[in-house]
Amino acid sequence: MLSRGLPSNQSMKCYSDFGSKSCSSLFLRQSSPISVNIDKMNLNFSMKNVVRCGALVAENSHTFLVGKKFQLDDVIDGQQFDRELLSNIFEVAREMERIEKNSPGSQILKGYLMATLFYEPSTRTRLSFESAMKRLGGEVLTTENAREFSSAAKGETLEDTIRTVERYSDIIVMRHFESGAARRAAATASIPIVNAGDGPGQHPTQALLDVYTIEREIGQLDGIKVGLVGDLANGRTVRSLAYLLAKYYNVKFFFVAPDVVKMKDDIKSYLTSQRIEWEESADLMEVASMCDVVYQTRIQKERFGEHIDLYEEARGKYIVDQKVMSVLQKHAVIMHPLPRLDEITVDVDADPRAAYFRQAKNGLYIRMALLKLLLVGW
């Protein structure tokens, strides 16, 4: 983790959400009581002061609520999170769910500006972050093609780009094609950096939303059985998920993958070192019948290069279809990081145990929570 003091212009920032809190409780935090002198002789009194109060509440919403500082300065990788922190973040995500549903005009992040600095396209992730910011009343500066950022094209370093963009914004959400880029950015920036995926490296908000989804859907994280299916060799998602779930008790993993994209030894060793049970299986039906979560993934064609035959073989091997659903337990769910091709058949979508679109929505709540925490604290 990068250690760094709170940037000076952050420490004074604060928030209020009139939609989710009662205004009277809010107002108790205002130190100087406001009063109106009423001239008894003339009860037609001027409303100047009254209106001034209204204006104070409506416009100076940044001046009287300061949340307890979030313990992270940046969100760079999954290792930054332990059980307790995850649990607290998930509680904020639940609050965000309520805000998104009931308080369409939330102003929690009013006056804050997020820059989305994407060096490779990822519209889904970008829209999710931008929606999160706007749902909380914040604003967004967008660069979809930061790689063509005229400065980057001219040879500017990432560090210089960050030093410029941080002067225009309050938080930077960054997607990069190089592993470690987010960490370099965080080391430079005096405003929070959120890693929205750096090449083969990390994509921590995806990992968090996956764990959050399991907790929401299954009700617990300890003691769960999770089947990871599909491309386990290249999938950043399933690897990160395995790392994060290893923090919980009595989790058991089943790996179901075509031979060419089997789970790598590093994760297996790590799980073993954490006393997490795992086994490999070639029988998706059996695994599905035992698991609480079947986490299906896409076989990534782009990883196979010219070996289209191997791709085609791997691709069709483990499909989640009605047959799989028929053995899945009633309380269990199917997850998928999306996009989905044909590894889950479309007729599964209507099944209440198909959780993948709810999972996408949870990404919104997790990102709302992280933006809120990084910008205005707990």
Closer CB to its own copies, 148 or 277, in the complex: 148
Q: Does 27 bind its own copies (CB under 8 A)?
A: yes
105 binds its own copies (CB under 8 A): yes
How far from the centroid of its chain's Cα atoms is residue 312's Cα? 32
Ranges of beta strands (E only) in 127-260 are 139-143, 171-176, 193-198, 225-229, 252-256
CA 71, 77, 82, 87 torsion-angle sign? positive
Cβ at position 63, least distance to its own copies in Å:
9
Near its own copies in 61-90, by CB under 8 A: 61-62
**Preceding peptide of 339 cis, ω within 30°:** yes
- Considering the complex, state which of residue 167 and residue 275 has its C-beta at the smaller distance from its own copies: 167
CB–CB of 303/234 below 8 Å? yes
CA 142 – CA 203 distance, rounded (Å): 19
Contacting its own copies (CB under 8 A), which of 1, 11, 29, 36? 36
> Which residue bears the tokens 């965000």?
96
Q: Is 252 in the site for its own copies (CB under 8 A)?
A: no
Query: Which whole-number Å values give the CA distances from 89 to 43, 266, 371, in the listed order?
Result: 52, 28, 11
Instruction: Write the single-letter amino acid at 210.
Output: D
> Where in 357-376 is the site for its own copies (CB under 8 A)?
357, 360-361, 364
Element (H, E) at 113: strand 113-118
Identify the CA nearest to 58 among candidates 137, 123, 166, 129: 137
Per-residue interface string for the shown chain with its own copies, residues 322-341, x marking contact by CB under 8 A? ----------------xxxx
Shortest Cβ distance from residue 66 to its own copies (Å)? 13
Stretch that binds its own copies, among 30-38, 177-185, 238-246, 303-311 (CB under 8 A): 30-38
Which residues in 113-152 contact its own copies (CB under 8 A)? 113, 115, 121-124, 127-128, 130-131, 134-135, 139, 141-146, 148-151
240 near its own copies, judged by CB under 8 A: no
Q: Is 26 exposed, middle or buried (0-12, 13-18, 19+ CB in 10 A)?
A: middle
Question: Distance (Å, rounded) from C-alpha 188 to C-alpha 170?
Answer: 14
Is residue 29 near its own copies by the rule CB under 8 A? no
Segment 148 to 207, residues that bind its own copies, using CB under 8 A: 148-151, 154-156, 159-161, 163-165, 167-169
Nearer to its own copies, 106 or 237 (CB): 106
- Give the one residue of 11, 49, 272, 322 binding its own copies; rule: CB under 8 A: 49
Under a CB-based contact definition with an 8 Å cutoff, are residues 136 and 129 in contact? no
Size of the residue set binding its own copies (CB under 8 A)? 90
Decide: helix, strand or coil at residue 105.
coil
Minimum CB separation of residue 368 from its own copies in Å reads: 11
Binding of its own copies by 106 (CB under 8 A): yes
Minimum CB distance to its own copies smaller for 148 or for 283: 148
Beta bridge partners of 295: 228, 335
Amino acid sitting at position 200: P
Least CB distance to its own copies at residue 362 (A): 9
Residue range at the interface with its own copies (CB under 8 A); choices 27-35, 177-185, 262-270, 316-324? 27-35
Nearest-5° Cα angle at 186, 238 to 87? 50
- The CB-of-228 to its own copies minimum distance in angstroms stands at 20
Q: What angle do CA 222, 367, 121 make, to 5 degrees?
A: 115
Place of tokens 């031979």: 259
CB of 282 to its own copies, least distance (A): 26
- 297, 230 in Cβ contact below 8 A? yes
Near its own copies by CB under 8 A: residue from 2, 6, 53, 290: 53
Q: Per CB under 8 A, which of residues 289..318 are in contact with its own copies?
A: 298
Catalytic residues: 124-125, 154, 175, 203
- 3, 24, 31, 32: residue in contact with its own copies (rule CB under 8 A): 24
Q: How long is the chain?
A: 378
Q: How far is the CB of 49 from its own copies (least distance, A)?
A: 7
- Under DSSP, the state recorded for 223 is T
Q: Output 108 or 214, the one with its CB closest to its own copies.
A: 108
